[in-house]
Amino acid sequence: MKPLVVVAPGTRIVLGISFFVLFVAVWAAATFSGFVSKTFLADPLTMVRSGWTLLTEMNFAHDIGMTVWRVLGGFVIAAAIALPLGVAMGAYKPIEAFFEPFVSFARYLPASAFIPLLILWAGIGEAQKLAVIFIGSFFQLVLMIAVTVGNTRRDLVEAAYTLGSSDASLVRRVLIPGAAPEIAETLRMVLGWAWTYVIVAELIGASSGIGHMITDSQALLATDQIIFGIIVIGLIGLVSDLAFKWGNRHLFPWAQLGR
């Protein structure tokens, strides 16, 4: 191995899969040998079997659907407001000076700590779940988008002005397209964080969702179901991440060049 030297694509996939295999092997060895008691950790086979039961008999697909809906719903609302506000803050410094201190403060407020308040305000319905996701992702998005837009290369801005751009068209034709790939990358990252908030939101006061299933399983000491739930979240996260990466590559081919 030499530092920073790239691996061949094939080797890369093999290495990536190997660790998954190793991970499951260690897990299987620890549980089947009886080294770890079944009470604390179910073995992989039991996990797969009860996962199948969950899906076929207990309508777990509906729980997955609910959770996905909540994450996407809260995230889309947050992004829809964060995008224009973040761009405005990045482009216009007085707007940034007005909002930035508050947003910097607000993004350190733990979204999960708002749950009791949100239940008080919005009940235990969907609005409360969406609100948790919103609080967890909105402030992060605004700040990162504002920084990205504010970092636009100054020489490109000057070039646009010498080509006759007005202030409004500079924002529309230089600041936004130039920042777009990095903004898409920010959305991908924050969507990942939104997944952790949704489970927390569903642990308290929910009647459906992956998080709700996990709390129910806790009462029954069903570690097999808990692990299955966690793995499902991981898989959905992985799929959405790959979809985002694929989308970004196709939307912004120019940003991939020379990487």
* List of residues contacting another protein (CB under 8 A): 153, 155-156, 158-166, 169, 173-174, 177-178, 180, 252-255, 257-258
Q: Please, which residue, 4 or 257, has the CB nearer to another protein?
A: 257
Q: Please, which residue, 218 or 256, has the CB nearer to another protein?
A: 256
Q: Please, which residue, 33 or 162, has the CB nearer to another protein?
A: 162
Q: Output the smallest distance, CB 166 to another protein, in A.
A: 8
Q: What's phi and psi for 108, nearest 5 deg?
A: -90, -5
Q: Please, which residue, 166 or 207, has the CB nearer to another protein?
A: 166
Q: Output the smallest distance, CB 253 to another protein, in A.
A: 7
Q: Output the smallest distance, CB 181 to another protein, in A.
A: 8
Q: Please, which residue, 181 or 211, has the CB nearer to another protein?
A: 181
Q: Output the smallest distance, CB 254 to another protein, in A.
A: 5
